[in-house]
A and B are shown apart, each in its own frame.
Chain A
Amino acid sequence: MSLDKETVRKVASLAHIKMTDEELDKYGPQLNNIVGFIEQLSEVDTDNVEPLPSPVDIPLKLRKDEVTDGGYPEDVLANAPEALESFYVVPKVIE
């Protein structure tokens, strides 16, 4: 499986990273090199093997469903590139 330029363009778009044509040409072969490497896994027989999403078996704890945090909007917004009152400001999305 090899990624052509259009696939790289689509992946960059899915990842929300703007890329010029020259960048697509640069990253394409690098990504193909990595994909070639990870495809070694197809040699491994994994029939009847359960996937392992997390390495250590820690039972998830339950706690009371109640608010335990919050109430400091100024801290939450402290690092916003642009904020107004208690809100983040983004470019206009509705015409």
Chain B
Amino acid sequence: MTELTHMTIAEALKGLENKDFTSVELTQAHIGAIENTRHLNVFVTETPELALKQAAESDKRRTAGDAGLLDGIPLAIKDLFCTKDVQTTAGSHILEGFVPTYESTVTTNLFRDGAVMLGKTNLDEFAMGSSNTTSFFGNVINPWKNQSNPDADLVPGGSSGGSSAAVAARIALGATGTDTGGSIRQPAAFTGTVGVKPTYGRCSRWGTVAFASSLDQAGAFARTVEDSALLLQSMSGHDPMDSTSADKNVPDWASTLQGDIKGMKIGIPKEYRMDGMPDEIEQLWQKGIEWMKDAGAEIIDVSLPHTKYALPAYYIIAPAEASTNLSRYDGVRYGLRVEGENLRDTYESTRAEGFGDEVKRRIMIGTYVLSAGYYDAYYMKAQKVRRLILQDFEKAYEQCDALLTPTAPSAAFAIGEKEDDQIKMYLNDIFTVPANLAGLPGLSVPAGLDKDGLPLGLQILGKAWDEETIFRVGNKIEQAANFTAIPEMVMQKAA
């Protein structure tokens, strides 16, 4: 039997159903693995007691023949989802000690289907970052090592860095994430895991700490495309508590992803060839194109002419929405309070101490672009460019069914790199941000290792509400790539 922590979710569900092991045993194995990997700093809050209680309840349900879609599966939950009676920090000092009295819709859905929560994963503060180096609770360390520089600790990507590291390190079978500009897909690429961001509106945002509301969307990490589809199916669905949640049927994606892609048209956007991108990423992209052809798909060259303006538009829209959303942290209703000389001084001192550097920068950029005299020049301009970016995709999708691109312009880098210049860090998300601006679904699939032994991902972008196609294309990439590498630290532990 495969080691319990190395199974896929689909395999674990089969094992539970066949009574090869119980959810308590499966959960206990993961709790043990978590205890052995604390140096990665994956969790802000571990919840082993809750997990074992949920696992025992799951075992009872299964015995009674009443098991749900994910019954008994231990998951890691990004610490941006409010969880009732469990601290929820958003990676920020300002929310340290905040214990929600309610449950987010996404976690409610997962628990409805029987999922077990191992803990709340570390993340960039308020999900603002691409390297998980802005968390108040410290950096997350990627379980992968660069073979040319094995002493350096690498970033797990961000902002969902704890979730991506958890799945890669085999300490959770799957994890939730959120993706505002690439915060699921980029960390998935950096850790050799599968990451899916659905169409905006597929998952309810209710109870998820808000960063940029018109861009934020929940999604999932797993070790196979099938597992990511199972998780997303559970998380999705209409919710009257979120007015942007779509009242649409949630398909059983896992049952259709094996379908063939013969005759499908896959678009290759020429603007995703970036100056300075490593040759290996270009070569992997070419390999992906060959895999698509081998599976019977037709390759179409397409153009998304406004791609280069996606990041600058994003760095107006996201900070603008963030500055508005984060105005609620005032030291009065929840979280940190730093007493000042008067009410205003209390607000200002609380926010000065409670927010980290990157969050302050983004709040200030957002405040600036929304301030009198600049609103039209920056914010309205960015919203117009956003429409042009959406129209680029709409035109491309007249010619093709999905797009294939690299997920990120580099492999995982060392902690501390790219910290001297914000723009360098922001460029991590150059291939992922356009889908957020246009609200489109995206999937990152591990497709190979670079010369330093680090994973690289390919991204599949789909039409709005057509997750079915990206899962199906992703499944073909997965089969062709046959990515079986696991981090050395995990292999050593298993041996």
Task: Give A contacts to B, CB under 8 Å.
Answer: 3, 7-8, 11-19, 27, 30-31, 33-35, 37-44, 46, 49-56, 58, 60-61, 63, 72, 75-76, 78-82, 88, 90-93
Contact = CB atoms under 8 A, between A and B. Distances in A.
Given A41-B385, A54-B200, A58-B246, 7 more contacts: A18-B351, A34-B315, A60-B243, A61-B243, A63-B240, A79-B101, A81-B337
B423 A37 contact: yes
Interface in B185-211: 199-201
Contact of B348 (A17, A46, A79): A17
30 contacts: A3-B368, A7-B368, A15-B323, A16-B347, A27-B364, A38-B312, A38-B365, A39-B312, A41-B313, A42-B381, A44-B309, A44-B385, A50-B387, A51-B380, A51-B383, A51-B386, A52-B383, A54-B214, A55-B200, A56-B201, A56-B439, A58-B244, A75-B102, A78-B101, A81-B332, A81-B334, A81-B335, A81-B336, A93-B342, A93-B343
B88 to A, nearest CB: 10
Interface in B345-400: 345-349, 351-352, 355, 360-361, 363-365, 367-369, 371, 378, 380-388, 390
A27 B363 contact: no
A11 B320 CA distance: 13
B352 A18 contact: yes
A34 B384 contact: no
B331 A55 contact: no
Interface string B95-109: 001111110000000
A18 B349 contact: yes
A90 B312 contact: no
A90 B365 CA distance: 28
Contact of A34 (B306, B367, B381, B423): B423
Contacts of A42: 381
A8 B364 contact: yes
Contacts of B363: 15, 17
Interface of B: 97-102, 199-201, 214-215, 240, 243-247, 306, 308-309, 311-313, 315-316, 323, 327, 330-337, 339-349, 351-352, 355, 360-361, 363-365, 367-369, 371, 378, 380-388, 390, 421-423, 426, 436-440, 464
Contacts, number: 176
B464 A56 contact: yes
A14, A42, A43, A50: which has the most chain B beta carbons within 10 Å?
Answer: A14
A16 B348 CA distance: 5
B332 A52 contact: no
B141 to A, nearest CB: 26
Contacts of B334: 79-81
Given A17-B360, A61-B240, A91 B342 contact: yes
B179 to A, nearest CB: 13
The A contact surface, by secondary structure, is: loop
B361 A38 contact: no
B312 A41 contact: yes
A50 to B, nearest CB: 6
B361 A17 contact: no
Contact of A11 (B364, B390, B440): B364
B368 A11 contact: yes
Contact of A41 (B201, B330, B381): B381
Contacts of B390: 52, 55
A29 to B, nearest CB: 10
B380 A88 contact: no
Nearest to B369: A38
Contacts of A40: 308-309, 312
B385 A38 contact: no
Contacts of A52: 383-384, 386-387, 390
A46 B381 contact: yes
Contacts of A90: 332, 343, 346
Given A15-B363, A55-B200, A56-B464, A46 B384 contact: yes
A38 B101 contact: no
Nearest to A7: B368
Contacts of A18: 345, 348-349, 351-352
A93 B383 CA distance: 39
B348 to A, nearest CB: 4
B364 A15 contact: yes
B243 to A, nearest CB: 6
Contacts of B364: 8, 11-12, 15, 17, 27, 31
Contacts of B240: 61, 63
Nearest to B348: A18
Contacts of B332: 80-81, 88, 90
A11 B385 contact: no
A62 to B, nearest CB: 10
B371 A11 contact: yes
Nearest to B381: A41
